Amino acid sequence: MEFDFSGPVIEWRGPSPYYFVRLPDEESADVREVAAMATYGWGVIPVEARIGEVVFQTSLFPRDGGYLLPLKAAVRKPAGLSAGDDVTVGMTVRLHEPPGPLGASGVVVGG
Protein backbone atom coordinates (compact mmCIF):
# COMPACT_ATOMS: atom_id res chain seq x y z
CA MET A 1 0.00 0.00 0.00
CA GLU A 2 1.61 3.23 -1.19
CA PHE A 3 0.79 6.86 -0.38
CA ASP A 4 1.97 10.35 -1.24
CA PHE A 5 0.95 13.15 1.12
CA SER A 6 2.07 16.52 2.40
CA GLY A 7 1.91 18.20 5.76
CA PRO A 8 3.79 20.38 8.23
CA VAL A 9 6.56 19.06 10.45
CA ILE A 10 5.30 19.15 14.02
CA GLU A 11 7.39 19.09 17.19
CA TRP A 12 6.44 17.23 20.35
CA ARG A 13 8.37 18.49 23.34
CA GLY A 14 8.90 15.77 25.88
CA PRO A 15 12.07 14.91 27.75
CA SER A 16 13.68 15.31 24.34
CA PRO A 17 12.07 16.81 21.24
CA TYR A 18 10.52 14.54 18.63
CA TYR A 19 9.37 15.54 15.17
CA PHE A 20 6.50 14.08 13.14
CA VAL A 21 4.32 14.56 10.09
CA ARG A 22 0.64 13.76 10.67
CA LEU A 23 -0.96 11.56 8.02
CA PRO A 24 -4.06 13.17 6.54
CA ASP A 25 -7.42 11.66 7.56
CA GLU A 26 -7.95 9.78 4.28
CA GLU A 27 -4.52 8.11 4.40
CA SER A 28 -4.97 7.31 8.11
CA ALA A 29 -8.28 5.59 7.31
CA ASP A 30 -6.58 3.53 4.58
CA VAL A 31 -3.80 2.50 6.98
CA ARG A 32 -6.39 1.44 9.59
CA GLU A 33 -7.92 -0.92 6.99
CA VAL A 34 -4.65 -2.89 6.74
CA ALA A 35 -3.35 -2.33 10.27
CA ALA A 36 -3.93 -5.95 11.36
CA MET A 37 -1.79 -7.17 8.44
CA ALA A 38 1.00 -4.72 9.21
CA THR A 39 1.35 -4.07 12.94
CA TYR A 40 3.86 -5.95 15.03
CA GLY A 41 2.27 -4.77 18.27
CA TRP A 42 1.25 -1.67 20.22
CA GLY A 43 -0.59 -0.38 17.14
CA VAL A 44 2.59 0.80 15.39
CA ILE A 45 2.71 0.25 11.62
CA PRO A 46 6.05 -0.39 9.86
CA VAL A 47 6.64 1.77 6.78
CA GLU A 48 9.28 2.78 4.30
CA ALA A 49 9.18 6.52 3.62
CA ARG A 50 10.87 8.95 1.26
CA ILE A 51 11.40 12.67 1.69
CA GLY A 52 13.32 14.12 -1.22
CA GLU A 53 16.31 11.83 -1.75
CA VAL A 54 16.21 10.42 1.80
CA VAL A 55 14.65 6.95 2.08
CA PHE A 56 14.14 5.52 5.56
CA GLN A 57 12.30 2.82 7.49
CA THR A 58 10.31 3.62 10.61
CA SER A 59 6.94 2.92 12.20
CA LEU A 60 3.81 5.06 12.29
CA PHE A 61 2.55 5.93 15.76
CA PRO A 62 -1.22 5.86 16.35
CA ARG A 63 -2.41 9.18 17.75
CA ASP A 64 -5.87 10.75 18.17
CA GLY A 65 -7.51 8.43 15.63
CA GLY A 66 -4.79 8.98 13.03
CA TYR A 67 -1.11 8.26 12.60
CA LEU A 68 2.13 10.20 13.00
CA LEU A 69 5.25 9.58 10.88
CA PRO A 70 8.35 10.14 13.06
CA LEU A 71 11.20 12.14 11.54
CA LYS A 72 14.59 11.39 13.08
CA ALA A 73 17.44 13.89 12.86
CA ALA A 74 19.07 11.64 10.22
CA VAL A 75 16.04 12.36 8.02
CA ARG A 76 15.39 16.02 8.92
CA LYS A 77 18.94 17.34 8.71
CA PRO A 78 19.79 16.24 5.12
CA ALA A 79 16.45 17.69 3.96
CA GLY A 80 16.95 20.86 6.04
CA LEU A 81 13.61 20.38 7.82
CA SER A 82 12.46 21.96 11.06
CA ALA A 83 9.16 22.43 12.88
CA GLY A 84 6.56 24.20 10.75
CA ASP A 85 8.11 23.31 7.40
CA ASP A 86 5.80 21.71 4.85
CA VAL A 87 7.07 18.38 3.58
CA THR A 88 5.96 15.93 0.89
CA VAL A 89 6.26 12.25 1.81
CA GLY A 90 6.15 9.09 -0.28
CA MET A 91 5.33 6.12 1.94
CA THR A 92 4.78 2.38 1.65
CA VAL A 93 3.14 0.36 4.43
CA ARG A 94 5.14 -2.85 4.96
CA LEU A 95 2.61 -5.68 5.25
CA HIS A 96 3.50 -9.04 6.80
CA GLU A 97 4.40 -11.76 4.33
CA PRO A 98 1.79 -14.51 4.26
CA PRO A 99 3.00 -17.66 5.96
CA GLY A 100 4.63 -20.15 3.65
CA PRO A 101 4.26 -23.93 3.66
CA LEU A 102 6.94 -24.32 6.38
CA GLY A 103 6.26 -23.72 10.04
CA ALA A 104 8.67 -21.89 12.34
CA SER A 105 10.60 -25.14 12.92
CA GLY A 106 11.09 -25.68 9.18
CA VAL A 107 8.65 -28.60 9.18
CA VAL A 108 5.91 -28.74 6.55
CA VAL A 109 2.65 -27.65 8.15
CA GLY A 110 -0.59 -29.45 7.31
CA GLY A 111 1.14 -31.90 5.03
For residue 98, is it within any domain?
no
Positive or negative torsion for Cα 25, 31, 35, 38: negative
Task: Determine the pLDDT at residue 41.
Answer: 76
For residue 22, is it within any domain?
yes
pTM for the full model? 0.81
Domain of residue 12, residue span: 2-93
Query: Residue 89 maps to which CATH number?
Result: 2.40.30.100
- Residue whose C-alpha is closest to residue 70's, from 28, 3, 22, 36: 22
User: Over the stretch 51-76, which tens digit does the pLDDT of each residue have?
Assistant: 999 999 999 999 999 999 999 999 99
